[in-house]
């Protein structure tokens, strides 16, 4: 479906496929900046949520000095142990609840 929309920048009418990323045929500015901003905000919020619920494991960089790698590996070991315990409890709760 296509429509026309008045460009908020130059005031000319442009073809508009109701897609937030559609641009003006005359000045190439975004035809629906509000929708674009809204879409962007939604994408950012989604990313934030994903980051909050995902556990970031420590990355051991081979270029790090040996003592940094040593401490990172200990930290990573704790992280893996922690995740395993949490997974075990989630499994146990699911088992008991079922
Ligand atoms: Zn325009």
Assess whether pLDDT exceeds 90 at residue 3: no
CA of 4 to the centre of ligand 1 (A): 12
Mean pLDDT of 8-15: 93
Query: How many angstroms does the Cα of residue 10 sit away from the middle of ligand 1?
Result: 4
What distance in angstroms lies between residue 23's CA and the mean position of ligand 1's atoms? 8
State pLDDT tens for residues 75-91. Answer: 999 999 999 999 999 99
What does the alpha-carbon distance between residue 80 and residue 74 come to, in Å, rounded to a whole number? 10
In this prediction, residue 19 carries a pLDDT of 84
CA distance between the termini of the chain: 49
Q: Ligand 1 centroid to 9 CA: how many Å?
A: 5
Q: Which tens digit of pLDDT belongs to each residue from 24-58?
A: 999 999 999 888 899 899 999 988 887 776 777 88
pLDDT at 1: 56
For 61-87, give one letter per residue: b (16+ CB within 10 A) or e: eeeeeeeeeeebeeeeeeeeeeeeeee
Q: How far is the CA of 39 from the centre of ligand 1 (A)?
A: 21
Mean local confidence (pLDDT), 7-19: 91
Q: Per-domain residue ranges for the chain?
A: 3-53, 56-98
pLDDT at 90: 92
The pLDDT, as a whole number, for residue 89 is: 93
Q: How far is the CA of 80 from the centre of ligand 1 (A)?
A: 54
């Amino acid at each position: 479906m296509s429509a026309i929309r008045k460009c908020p920048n130059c005031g000319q009418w442009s073809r508009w496929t109701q897609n937030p990323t559609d641009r003006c045929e005359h000045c190439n500015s975004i035809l629906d900046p509000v929708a674009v901003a809204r879409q962007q905000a939604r994408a950012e919020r989604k990313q934030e949520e994903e980051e909050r619920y995902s556990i970031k494991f420590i990355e051991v960089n081979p270029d790090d000095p040996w003592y940094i790698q040593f401490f990172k590996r200990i930290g990573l070991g704790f992280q893996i142990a922690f995740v395993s315990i949490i997974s075990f409890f989630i499994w146990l709760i699911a088992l008991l609840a079922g």
